[in-house]
Amino acid sequence: MKTIYWKKGVFSSTYQLFTLGTPIGNLHSKMWSNDATATINAKRYTFKTKGFLSQSTLIVDYDINRIVGRITYNSWRTKALIELENTTAELKSENILNSVWGMRGKNGERFKYSFSMTSGTITYSIADDTLVIAGLYAKNFFSQSSIGVFIAIFLPLYIVLFT
């Protein structure tokens, strides 16, 4: 198994990726948007999310401006199906705290994403940069969605109760 380490600031929207202490890329989410840009091992990607209730994300190879995959999310934001040209993989939470996520591909790929507030690891069995970064994007998408739901529910309650 190989490992990629990532870190980000508490309020940052950029994940920095490292292998053996050497920077290999990043994932930068746009503020107040579900779109993002990413670089991993000199490959650049753009993630463009569409839809409101039934959302999906297009994975675009930035250098050739071509769609290379799609991420489809289930309604409860607990699973994502990542479809690329040569494989399909399912990402899902492996614990109740959503701090560990696993992904398995149809070609035998296995990935494990471990998260804390500001750092984590990605371990994988088969090197596929597109799957690595797509899984990290999908997990970040789930985190951002959770924060949005939290604000939508508790901000009105706070206003009603304390103003």
The answer to whether the CB of 91 falls within 8 A of the CB of 79 is yes
The answer to whether the CB of 36 falls within 8 A of the CB of 137 is yes
**Residue range 34-90, pLDDT digits in tens:** 899 999 999 999 999 998 777 899 999 999 999 999 999 987 778 999 999 989 999
pLDDT band at 126 (very low <50, low <70, confident <90, very high): confident
Segment holding 148, helix H or strand E: helix 129-162
Count CB neighbours of 98 within 10 A.
Answer: 15
Segment holding 150, helix H or strand E: helix 129-162
- List of residues 6+ apart from 77 with CB closer than 8 A: 142, 145, 146
* Residue 115, token pair as written in the block: 């998260």
pLDDT band at 117 (very low <50, low <70, confident <90, very high): confident
Q: What is the pTM for the complete model shown?
A: 0.86
- List of residues 6+ apart from 155 with CB closer than 8 A: none
